[in-house]
A = this chain, B = another copy of it.
Amino acid sequence: MSSVTQARTRYHHGDLANALAAAALDLARAGGPDAVVLREAARRVGVSATAAYRHFAGHEELIETVKQECQLELVGRMETALAAGTPDPDPQREAIRRLRALGVGYLRFAVEEPGLFRTAFCHSDASKEPSWNRMLSSPGFVALTTVLDDLARTGALDERHRAGAELVAWSSVHGFSMLVLDGPLGALSPEDRAPIVDRLLDAIVAGILGREP
């Protein structure tokens, strides 16, 4: 038994906030944002529902925590995908490779963790503008800007296309992910999807560059 496991058997849990957040994240993983239920999270941790109120103002704060966690998991996947491939000595081809890798990581996360992905972008009443800051300032997202800058610097991306290129790239990949998860593309089998994903990424890259890659 680890000290953490022992801790749970004691009256004072010791790390209830994190334990509840982790349980809630599991709920999101399995069933999306609607499955993030305070009482169930407490149940899984083996604690009364009331105990959660010592660590979260209420359900909204819990799900907002989970949502942020989901966003960080997404950028984690992007960063992993970025680091996975073998660098190309040619700086231009390397930048294109990295742009694709970011897209692949994003799409993979959406498909492999639909519950977390939906939670990361679930609708919340509270206008929590700052909640996106951690995600947008993460290495994964900053890498997108870096890569586009590299493309502009090497001349692959025309200056006229540089402005707003982040938004085009993000929108394309995000929209495709949503259409696969909850749209008409959901009927596609993984085998059918793979080549389409490939072609889509080609098209997005071509679109951003404004010419053949």
Contacts and interface: CB of A to CB of B under 8 A. Distances in A.
B181 A123 contact: yes
Given A170-B175, A183-B132, A203-B161, A211 B211 contact: yes
A199 B132 contact: no
Contacts of A183: 121, 132, 174
A136 interface: yes
A165 interface: yes
Contacts of A135: 184
Interface of A: 32, 34, 118, 121-124, 127, 129, 132, 135-136, 160-161, 163-165, 167-168, 170-179, 181-184, 186-187, 196, 199-200, 203-204, 206-208, 210-212
Contact of A207 (B136, B173, B177, B206): B206
A114 B184 CA distance: 19
Main secondary structure on A side of the interface with B: helix
A178 B184 CA distance: 16
With a 10 A CB-CB cut-off, give which of A34, A173, A176 has the most chain B CB atoms. Answer: A176
Contact of A172 (B161, B175, B184, B199): B175
A123 B210 contact: no
18 contacts: A32-B123, A121-B182, A121-B183, A123-B182, A129-B184, A129-B186, A161-B203, A167-B176, A167-B199, A167-B203, A168-B204, A170-B175, A171-B174, A171-B179, A171-B200, A173-B175, A204-B207, A211-B211
With a 10 A CB-CB cut-off, give which of A123, A187, A200 has the most chain B CB atoms. Answer: A123
A31 B122 CA distance: 14
Nearest to A32: B123
